Amino acid sequence: MARTSEEQRIAKLEAQIAALKARAEAKKVKKDPALKYVTAALRSIDKAASETDDKAMREALGDARSTLSACLQLNGVTLTAKGSGAKRPARMTGESVDMNALFAYVRNNPGQRGEQISAALGTDSKAMRPVMKQLIEDGKVKTKGERRGMAYFAT
C-alpha cells in the first residue's frame, strides 16, 4: 500500500473544504427566496444557451448569466456546478466559444480557473483554450498561476 504524499493529503483536505462550502452555500440559497429564484433563472439560461444555435442569442444569454452570477456573488454565493444549485449545462463539444461571451464572463468573474469558466459557459476547456489564448494575446485577459491552477483576470 502506497503512502499518500503531502500534496495528495492537502488536495484531499481542500476537496473536503470545497464540499463543505458548497453545502453551506446550498443552505444559504434555500433560505433566501430571492437567491432561489436567481439560481432557477441561471438554470433556465443554461438550458436555453445549450439548446440554441444562434450565436447572438448565446452571447446575450451569456451576458445575462454573468449579471445574475454577479448578483449571487454579491450575496456571498459562488457558482459551481453543484454548489449553486445550477445544473451543469450540456457540453458544446466541437463548437468554438464566443470570444465576447468568454471575455464578459472573465470580466464579471475574476480569478476563476479554466475548468470553472468552461463549466459555467457550457463548453469544454479544449474548445475554450484557443479563444482564451487570443484574449491573452490581445491584452484583454491576464493570468496568474500555471497549468490547472491558472486563474484568469480581465485587464
Query: What string of pLDDT tens digits covers the 155 residues of the chain?
Result: 568 788 888 888 888 888 888 787 777 767 788 888 888 888 899 888 888 888 889 889 988 988 888 887 777 666 654 333 333 333 344 456 788 888 988 998 899 999 888 888 878 888 888 999 999 999 999 999 988 889 999 98
Decide: 87 and 46 in contact? Cβ < 8 Å. yes
| 107 grid coordinates | 470580466
Decide: 121 and 62 in contact? Cβ < 8 Å. yes
Our count of domains for the chain comes to: 1
Residue located via cell numbers 484583454: 140
125 belongs to a structural domain: yes
- Give SS3 for 137: helix
Rounded to 10°, the helix 6-31/33-51 angle is 110
Distance CA 108, CA 73 (A): 10
12 belongs to a structural domain: yes
1 belongs to a structural domain: no
pLDDT at 25: 74
147 belongs to a structural domain: yes
Residues 6+ apart with CB under 8 A from 147: none
Distance CA 118, CA 85 (A): 17
144 belongs to a structural domain: yes
Domain of residue 43 covers: 6-154
**152 strand-pairing partners:** 112, 143
Question: Backbone phi, then psi, for 113, in 5-degree steps?
Answer: -85, 165
Q: Could you tell me which of 99, 100, 116 has the C-alpha nearest to residue 150?
A: 116
113 belongs to a structural domain: yes
